[in-house]
Structure 1
Amino acid sequence: MNAYLNYTRLVLIFVFLVILAGGVVRTTQSGMGCPDWPHCYGRLMPPFSSKDLPADYKKYLDKQDIDMKYNPAHAWVEYINRLITGILGILIVIHVSWSFKKFFSSKQSIFWLSCLFLAGTVFEAWLGKLVVDTNLAVVKITLHMLAALFLAVIPALILHRLNNDKVVHDKNLLILTRITLIVLLLQIIIGTDVREQVDEVSKALNYQQRETWLSQLNAVFDVHKIVAIITSLLVILIFWRSLSHASLQKIALFLLLIVLLVAAAGFLLVALNIPAFIQPVHLLLSSVLFVSLFAFQLNLKS
């Protein structure tokens, strides 16, 4: 059992790695680094330089609206993102096979959750293709992010069902946690809209004058900051209320730590004029917070 649980944790870590890689792709403007899918310039691997491009490479460049010439760095960042997602798919196929062998005759719900995990990954890959085919359409990018969060909660649910942890009966804490989950999800959705605005502003300025980007965002950015403060306060309240339950104290402390890190990353994004290396970290931390909060509420009953 321990080997299966550890493998499930490994797959969950890979989901977070996919989310981080996706954040790096957006931060580096590499989303159209490979203008075709599943190939890259018609090949299995990106060319190492413009000298290695196929004869018909211009038909691929016509799909871009950023580089307009071959950028090997962008191509390889996007390719690595796809490669990590592909590895995740292989890991999940193994997970489904293992789940069938181990639980189909005893705990079928674990097997079907694993199948749902695989189906969600296929859907996520399909969404990724749509994002490329539509040149990074905004709505599809948001769906891409939400689908990744959905994927991450499935292994958390599997781990919960296989662990024999005691359930805490605290109706008020359960309600508070579910409200916080909804607010946090709203914050993440609004954050994708803010990120899209940053993309548009930065592109219009040819990715220069970074210090002026934030001043050109609309009121959605202010809403995002307000919702972030509300989320932080709610998590702090969850931590405070969890102190009376010994079995919840460790995960509640982890939630508090993560929300403080999310807040710190958000502060640095504003204070330092959106440094590129912090953006994917901010996204990753927000995703970890959401999944951890989801796992926390599984330990609660009214």
Structure 2
Amino acid sequence: MTSSTHIDIKANRRFRRLALNTVIVLYFLIIAGGVVRSTGAGMGCPDWPRCFGRWVPPTEISQLPANYKELYGAKLKGEIEFNPVKTWIEYVNRLLGAFTGVMIFLTLLASIPFLRSGNKRIFYYSLSAFILVGFQGWLGAKVVSFELLPIVVTLHMLLAIVIVFLLLFLFTWSAYAGNILQLKESSKKAIGGIGVLVITLSLIQILLGTQVREAMDEVIHKLGYQARNKWIDELGLNFYIHRSFSILVFIVNLYWINRIFKAEGRESIAGKIAFACFWILILEIVTGILMAYFGVPPFAQPLHLTFAILLIGLQFVIWLVVNGNKYLKYSSDIRLEKSTI
């Protein structure tokens, strides 16, 4: 075994672990973002990057200046009342965002060895993820400065999905390069084609969901957080479109999952992920029902969003797996080197 082979194998293993851990941290960040929105803590820190002018947020009103409403109330239209729970929810969200940036930077560093092994695209994709997460942080600041402007919030979510896709691609590629994925050749074109449709429908459904959430923000502003049981009735057409579209999403997903089972087998990598997609889809529907018919319980909102992002992420991984020979084989160097050990 040559020393260069040993370095490549270790580099790939280290990169795969970091990519997976970064994806996990990113999903925790998405959950935190959902909690921020469901609790109305988006402006829990009215300034950025500090929180009420402090690097460590206050825990009680006595730690704020006496004129804090004058300092921050104009920005929030005079409606600010200090709430330490909301303040710390938003602050933890920011800390998770910073930690995610660190993890993506470590992933970028771990991708440097691939520059010397014929897999330069892996480094450039890692660099793209790092740049995008920096832009995401800037956009998060704009979410605060624009006072939760709906279009900015939606762009913030879409960029999160792009970053998820990039990191999932990097992890899937490293798993393939390390001989972890065993790809089959049956029905690749058909399953891959349907997969594009499934991912597209999921993305549309997420966008429809953001429109519903934006409408809900207006309802909350009008009725307040104590009137949760009245929110759904005030949402209007956007909610019914989102709810009805979920039926189409469910049917197409079931068809795709069934095709994967028949072509790849339930015990294949694609089959196992498809099975997970089925249950995540069920959980997403259940949380949607809870919100629609049980007064929008706070825990259901972040879970509903997280299941949606997790579902589209796994759909993307399946699409990569069934098209692996086309999209994952940028270079066979690592696989060939490992096979000679």
Bigger CA drift: 60-69 or 242-251? 60-69
In the TM superposition, residue 64 of structure 1 has moved relative to its aligned partner by 2.0
Which is further off, 156-165 or 288-297? 156-165
Q: Decide which moves more: 17-26 or 197-206.
A: 197-206
Q: Say whether 1:228 aligns with 2:246.
A: yes
What pairs with 1:95-134 in structure 2 (closer than 5 Å)?
95-100=107-112, 102-106=113-117, 107-134=119-146
Other-structure match for 2:147:
135
Deviations 1:42-100 (A, max 9, x none): 11121111111146633223222585222211111111000000011111111111211
CA RMSD of aligned residues (A): 1.6
Q: Hey, what's the Cα distance between the residues in 2 that align with 1:95 and 1:66? A: 43
Instruction: Indicate conservation of the 8 Å contact 1:167/1:300, yes or no.
Output: yes
Q: Which among 99, 121, 140 is matched to residue 87 of structure 1? A: 99
Cα deviation, 1:146-203, whole Å, max 9, x if unaligned, reads: 1111111111111222223325442222111111111110100110110111121122
Aligned partner letter, 1:283? L
- Larger deviation, residues 46-55 vs 133-142: 46-55
Q: Is the 8 A contact 2:39 2:86 kept in 1?
A: yes
Deviates more, 1:91-100 or 1:121-130: 91-100
Aligned residue type for 1:251: I
Match of 2:338 in 1: none
Could you tell me which residue of structure 1 aligns to residue 86 of structure 2?
A: 74
> Is residue 180 from structure 1 mapped to residue 198 from structure 2 by the alignment?
yes
Q: Is the deviation greater in 162-171 or in 276-285?
A: 162-171
| Aligned residue number for residue 52 of structure 1 | 63
Aligned equivalent of 2:308, options 266, 286, 300 = 286
Distance of aligned partners of 1:167 and 1:123 in 2 relative to their CA distance in 1, 3 Å threshold:
farther
Specify the SS of the correspondent of 2:80: coil
Write the letter of the residue equivalent to 2:29.
V
In structure 2, how many angstroms separate the alpha carbons of the residues matched to 1:30 and 1:284?
18
**Paired residues for 1:149-188 under 5 Å:** 149-164=161-176, 165=181, 166=183, 168=185, 169-188=187-206
CA distance in 1 between partners of 2:228 and 2:285 (Å): 21
Distance 1:145 1:221 in 2: 19
Q: Give per-residue Cα distances to partners, 1:250-277, cap 9 Å, x unaligned.
A: 1111111111111111111112121111
Partner of 2:337: none
1:63 correspondence with 2:63: no
- Look up the equivalent residue of 2:136 and give its one-letter code: E
Residues 111 and 123, structure 2, Cα contact 8 Å, conserved in 1: yes
Alignment CA distance shift 1:155-1:113 (3 Å): same
Change in Cα spacing, 1:76 to 1:66, as seen in structure 2 (3 Å) is: farther
Partner of 1:6: 17
Using the size of structure 1 for normalisation, the TM-score is 0.95
Residue 263 (1) aligns with residue 263 (2): no
Count of aligned residue pairs for this structure pair: 301
Cα distance, 1:21–1:65 mapped onto 2, change above 3 Å: farther
Sequence identity (%): 32
Q: Which position in structure 1 is the counterpart of 2:49? A: 38
TM-score norm. by structure 2 comes to 0.85
Match of 2:51, SS? coil
In our comparison, the structure showing a higher alpha carbon Rg is: 2
Amino acid at match of 1:197: A
Q: For residues 203 and 110 of structure 2, what CA distance do their matches in structure 1 show?
A: 32
Partners of 2:44 and 2:243 in 1: how far apart? 31
**Distance (whole Å) between structure 2 residues aligned to residue 124 and residue 56 of structure 1:** 32
Could you say which residue in structure 2 is the equivalent of 1:275?
Answer: 297
Conserved 8 A contact 1:61-1:70: no
